[in-house]
Structure 1
Amino acid sequence: MPECDNCDSFVTERYVRVFAPTHLDTVRVCPRCEDLVRDGNETRMARSTR
Structure 2
Amino acid sequence: MKALIIGAAGFVGGYLIRELKAAGWEVHATCLPNEEIKEECPVHTLDILKKED
TM-score of the pair, normalised by structure 2: 0.21
Q: Which has the larger radius of gyration?
A: 2
TM-score by length of 1: 0.21
**Bigger relative CO (Cα 8 Å, ≥ 6 apart):** 2
**Greater strand content:** 2
